[in-house]
């Protein structure tokens, strides 16, 4: 996603992380932040939203419950199952939103 202003993309990601903080609760913030930081090990250098989601999911793969919390927060903002963003060589951005999460998280 490329917004009209330099901070637009960051505002969306910040909203996702804020939602994650609410879902995990204050007692589990260290766990969330560990997934966030460790998830960066599984993402490319300039990640799209879905790359960060997938990195966090990879980090949380030992906990189905935490993985569902991650899916729910990303899906709330259109980065659910099947969401895809791409940027052409000319800089054109194509976004396919998805508000769905896996059936295992229903």
pLDDT digits (tens, 9 = 90+) for 21-75: 999 999 999 999 999 999 999 999 988 899 999 999 999 999 999 999 999 999 9
- pTM score, two decimals? 0.88
Q: Identify whether 100 is part of a domain.
A: yes
Q: Identify whether 74 is part of a domain.
A: yes
Q: Identify whether 52 is part of a domain.
A: yes
Q: Identify whether 29 is part of a domain.
A: yes
Domain at 36, CATH number: 1.10.390.10
Q: What is the mean pLDDT of residues 5-33?
A: 90
Question: Does residue 6 carry a pLDDT above 70?
Answer: no
Q: Identify whether 63 is part of a domain.
A: yes
Q: Identify whether 1 is part of a domain.
A: no
87's enclosing H/E stretch is: strand 84-87
Number of domains making up the chain? 1
Output the CA angle 56-62-66, nearest 5 degrees. 55
Place of tokens 């999911």: 57
Q: Note down the domain range covering 73.
A: 8-105
CA distances from 93 to 3, 5, 56, 74, 103 (A): 10, 15, 24, 19, 29
């Amino acid at each position: 996603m490329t917004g009209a202003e330099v901070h637009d993309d960051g505002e969306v990601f910040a909203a996702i992380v804020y939602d994650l903080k609410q879902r995990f609760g204050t007692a589990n913030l260290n766990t969330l932040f560990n997934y966030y930081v460790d998830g960066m090990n599984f993402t490319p250098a300039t990640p799209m939203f879905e790359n960060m989601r997938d990195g966090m999911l990879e980090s949380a793969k030992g906990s189905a419950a935490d993985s569902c919390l991650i899916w729910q927060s990303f899906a709330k903002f259109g980065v659910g199952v099947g969401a895809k963003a791409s940027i052409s060589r000319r800089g054109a951005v194509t976004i396919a939103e998805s508000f769905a999460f896996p059936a295992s998280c229903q």
